[in-house]
Structure 1
Amino acid sequence: MAATASSSSDVPPLGKYLASNDKKTRDRAVKSLSAFLCDPSHDDLPKSELAKLWKGIFYCFWMSDKPLVQQALASEIAEIALQIPKTPAALAFLRGFWEALVREWPGIDRHRLDKYYMLVRRFVNASFRLLIRDEWDASVCTEYNTILSDKGGPLCPEDPRVPVGLAYHLADIYIEELDKALAAAEDPLPAPLGTLVAPFLALAARTPTKAAYDRLQSALLEPLLGALAPASPSEDEEGERRRKRARLASTEFEHLVQHMCVSQPKDGAVPAAVVRKALLKQIFDVAGEESTRDANRRKLFALYKSHTDEDDEDES
């Protein structure tokens, strides 16, 4: 299979091999794909050619039909982002992933949905490990956020093609996968939490659907704010309000809490209380932006107020 030749004319055949009905052919194509994309001569692969590759990758994963095979393939494909030597080319690969997923998602039947959710997890985790490897470089983080929020990205509030289930799943897993990536890294620089949650706050501000806003708040913002809150006093002292917050913060994100900052990783880790205060201010600022929908504005201000009131009570 001549899938690793250097000219872009070899991309369509590689895409066909990836979507082959024969598993051995697909397996060889995935190996060739990694070699092809890691070749520096393909760093500037045209977007149209990358889209053809991603169509092949999508259907390669589509035809994986056993759980262990699916898990191994998901990991192998996601790891390519870390094998590509140059970060801009790796980011282009990630952009291709999200654009392909948004484009092809409506055709995924319910029997295959879970395995694509797993693939998303693998890519989110690999993306965080890429950002960690690049020491949370500000320009790289900005580009990654742009990939998520641009038209064709999974968190774009203005793109009607974006399936709500994809944004929901990202909200469910995003901080969890960040915590896992930090746990797996050796002495990582602190994660710039204010930067990383910005696309979700933008979506919370501008999403036209109540369900999407509610999911972002319940699955991401509330658990995160809960994890950053000071240790609770006894149940007898705090009562139902504390019990409710404890349920919301059932995941503590211990590695994130130990390795985080607001926006400047090279200045070192920042205490949870400081990050929480900055995150609440970020929520307040987003709520006040002109582009924020009125219904969402009220909810964001209410979220800000409920947590600042709790903090005031903690300090009293």
Structure 2
Amino acid sequence: MASTSASIAPPLGKYLASTDKKTRDNAVKKLAAFLSNPGRPRMSSLEMDKLWKGIFYCFWMSDKPLVQQSLASELANILLDTDNNDTSFEFLEGFWSIIVREWDGIDRLRMDKYYILIRRFVNASFRLLMRSDWNAGLCKVYNDGLTVKGGPLCPDDNRVPSSLKYHVADVYLQELDKVLAWDSGAGDEPPPPAPLDTLIAPFLILLARTPSNHTFERVMSAVLEPLIQSLTHTGSDEPPSKKRRRFLGDEIPFVLGNSHVSTSLMTDRSSLRQSLLKQVFSIASEQETRDSNRRKLYKFWKINLDDDDDDGDDDDGARRKLDSN
């Protein structure tokens, strides 16, 4: 059975990289059918690399904005075309591997369409996790794929371009907000609340361990700072209708209104904020955290502490620990 995968994947990769658009389009359709086949044997890393090299250049040769956007969505949705989560994560791992490897070779004129492709895959990844009701085991697999050697958020792999980390950070909360969107005015049922502490964990690992000051500052400004600042807002916890979203600018109302922490079902902003700040303190305290990053994370935590009577004992204990370091 192992030869079945080897005999199909390389020719399919060649068709995907064809200069003929019709050939490429047919190959993409066959790709979805091939990967969603429940009887398909697992592909080796080498076979998946060959397949993704073909997919990468298939996307490379898409030269019209509407074609690019349609193809980006079609490729990302392959993650959801199968009920086999192993297959979905196998395909996602191949995506991040080729993106990390080829990123520095993407020219300026083509970069925008690869930005779109990354957005679509981040979005589809969230939808994949939400389909499982944010299963803790699958969320861990997803996070590990982001932070492992060769992953786009790996803090200590020099092969991962900094600009790729920046873009993932820039779009992450925006795409999560889209996935969690629902129209309260129309009576729609909200999707299952997202475990916010789990989903931002890869960025906290990156903040704790990156040797780059630029990466630290970019991730802080794109993810952690706006998230904590938004949770500080004392307005209604209920997300607005889709009709009102256009007035909210870069805010993330559905993330704020439909999230919780993995250890609690509480979704109010104050509880989320306190839990995330404790998470910041916790990772700052870890042995693997770089000393310079530890100091900056402690400073961020201390500045953003609330004088909440319910959490006073925990905060006092954390302050004593901080003062002793």
Shared fold by TM > 0.5? yes
Q: Residue 6 of structure 1: CA displacement?
A: 5.1
Give the structure 1 partner of residue 14 of structure 2. Answer: 16
169-178 vs 223-232, greater mean Cα deviation: 223-232
Give the structure 2 partner of residue 306 of structure 1. Answer: 303
Give the structure 1 partner of residue 222 of structure 2. Answer: 219
2: CA distance, partners of 1:128 / 1:171: 14
Q: State the SS of the aligned residue for 2:234.
A: coil
| Amino acid in structure 1 at the alignment position of 2:304 | H
Unaligned runs of 5+ in 1: 233-248
**Change in 2 beyond 3 A, CA 1:313/1:270:** closer
Cα contact 1:54–1:97 (8 A) shared by 2: yes
Cα contact 2:79–2:125 (8 A) shared by 1: yes
1: CA distance, partners of 2:148 / 2:34: 27
Q: Residue 187 of structure 1: CA displacement?
A: 2.9
Q: Give the alignment partner of residue 206 of structure 1, picking from 209, 212, 219.
A: 209
Q: Residue 252 of structure 1: CA displacement?
A: 3.0
Q: State the SS of the aligned residue for 2:307.
A: helix
Q: Give the alignment partner of residue 50 of structure 1, picking from 48, 52, 56.
A: 48
| Amino acid in structure 1 at the alignment position of 2:196 | L
Give the structure 1 partner of residue 284 of structure 2. Answer: 287
Aligned residues: 291
Q: Residue 288 of structure 1: CA displacement?
A: 1.3
Cα contact 2:208–2:294 (8 A) shared by 1: yes
Percent identity, aligned pairs only, is 55
Give the structure 1 partner of residue 95 of structure 2. Answer: 97
Q: State the SS of the aligned residue for 1:45.
A: coil
| Amino acid in structure 1 at the alignment position of 2:152 | P
Give the structure 1 partner of residue 318 of structure 2. Answer: none
Structural mapping, 1:14-163, within 5 Å:
14-42=12-40, 44-163=42-161
Q: Residue 11 of structure 1: CA displacement?
A: 0.8
2: CA distance, partners of 1:207 / 1:167: 11
**Change in 2 beyond 3 A, CA 1:83/1:55:** same
Residue-by-residue CA offset, 1:88-134 (whole Å, 9 max, x unaligned):
11011111100110011121111111110110000000000000001
| Amino acid in structure 2 at the alignment position of 1:191 | A
Does residue 196 of the first structure (1) align with residue 210 of the second (2)? no
Residue-by-residue CA offset, 1:19-66 (whole Å, 9 max, x unaligned):
001111101100010000010122522222111111110010011111
Structure 1's consecutive aligned runs of 4 or more residues displaced over 6 angstroms after TM superposition are none
- Normalising by structure 2, we get a TM-score of 0.85
Give the structure 2 partner of residue 255 of structure 1. Answer: 254
1: CA distance, partners of 2:113 / 2:249: 25
Q: Residue 250 of structure 1: CA displacement?
A: 6.1
Q: Give the alignment partner of residue 175 of structure 1, picking from 173, 176, 181.
A: 173
Q: State the SS of the aligned residue for 2:134.
A: coil
1: CA distance, partners of 2:250 / 2:309: 21
| Amino acid in structure 2 at the alignment position of 1:129 | R
| Amino acid in structure 1 at the alignment position of 2:60 | W
Cα contact 2:285–2:294 (8 A) shared by 1: yes
Cα contact 1:227–1:251 (8 A) shared by 2: no
Unaligned runs of 5+ in 2: 183-187, 236-247, 311-325
Q: Give the alignment partner of residue 278 of structure 1, picking from 275, 286, 310.
A: 275
2: CA distance, partners of 1:43 / 1:191: 32
**Change in 2 beyond 3 A, CA 1:268/1:285:** closer
**Change in 2 beyond 3 A, CA 1:259/1:313:** closer
- Normalising by structure 1, we get a TM-score of 0.88
Residue-by-residue CA offset, 1:129-151 (whole Å, 9 max, x unaligned):
00000110000000000000001
**Change in 2 beyond 3 A, CA 1:280/1:43:** farther
**Change in 2 beyond 3 A, CA 1:282/1:155:** same
Cα contact 1:58–1:100 (8 A) shared by 2: yes
2: CA distance, partners of 1:71 / 1:153: 24
